[in-house]
Amino acid sequence: MKKSSLILIILIIIALFAGADYYLNNLKDQALPKIPKPTTDTVSPDKSEFADAAFKLNEDVIGYKLVSQKKTSQIFEKIDLSNINNIKIYLDTFEKASAPAQIPVTETTEATPPAPTDVKENNQSIYLYEIHGPVGQGSLTYLNVKLQFISQINATTEVLNETGEFGQNSFFYNDQSFENVAFLLTQAGDNLYAFQYNKVDPVIYNDVKSIVAKIMPAKTDVNITNP
């Protein structure tokens, strides 16, 4: 056999092996799904989500620090307000300045509000729900929220005590299951503010009064009486 013929045969064999290898690799890629590589990119919370909040993260308010601010759709872990259109709800957690330091947290996802059972005799936290409604419709937002309370509470063990003693509209929500917990909702202009706090401690009660005075429009008399 001539030398040139032998070389040609070898080249043909190599080409056949290369083609077979290419075909098998393609077949393998089609049979097995490709697994995407995990990303290490982190997404920072968008602070603009809370641009209209009455209080800002880390803000000091009458001896309390705002340590957490989150978005939610209900208040007092009881009343779901997701059926009301055009409102935004923020849950602010205020801690006494003398309390152990916590790492500030801002979340743009739905939050789980604190359970009323968390408010015990030694609890100095104040949970404030900011309910931001449409401009010029504060009274309508208040009415819609009040109707949600009426439709969702147990009329036997839970009652609303509409005081009207301060702000434009206000009521206490009383739950016999949580006798040491105060639930207060007020209207200030276009927005509503709902407080959950330990009513056993008179100091906290006075602090809540001061915060209410701070958010109320000027020249509004504030006179709160525990229910």
DSSP-assigned beta bridge partners for residue 131: 89, 192
pTM above 0.75, yes or no: no
Q: 80-127, pLDDT tens digit by residue?
A: 999 999 999 999 999 987 655 444 444 444 444 455 544 445 678 999
Q: 140-179, pLDDT tens digit by residue?
A: 999 999 999 999 999 899 999 998 776 788 899 999 999 8
Mean pLDDT of the chain: 77
pLDDT level of residue 189 (50, 70, 90 thresholds): confident
- DSSP SS3 for 51: coil
Q: Would you state the pLDDT for residue 116?
A: 54
Distance CA 112, CA 105 (A): 13
pLDDT level of residue 64 (50, 70, 90 thresholds): very high
Q: Would you state the pLDDT for residue 20?
A: 56
pLDDT level of residue 18 (50, 70, 90 thresholds): low
- Domain coordinates in residue numbering, the chain: 47-215
Distance CA 96, CA 226 (A): 21
Closest among 87, 92, 173 to 138, alpha carbons compared: 87
Q: 29-59, pLDDT tens digit by residue?
A: 444 333 333 343 333 445 667 888 999 999 9
Closest among 115, 84, 95 to 192, alpha carbons compared: 84
What is the 3-class SS of 120-169, one letter each residue? CCCCCCEEEEEEECCCCCHHHHHHHHHHHHHHHCCCCCEEEECCCCCCCE
Distance CA 209, CA 125 (A): 14
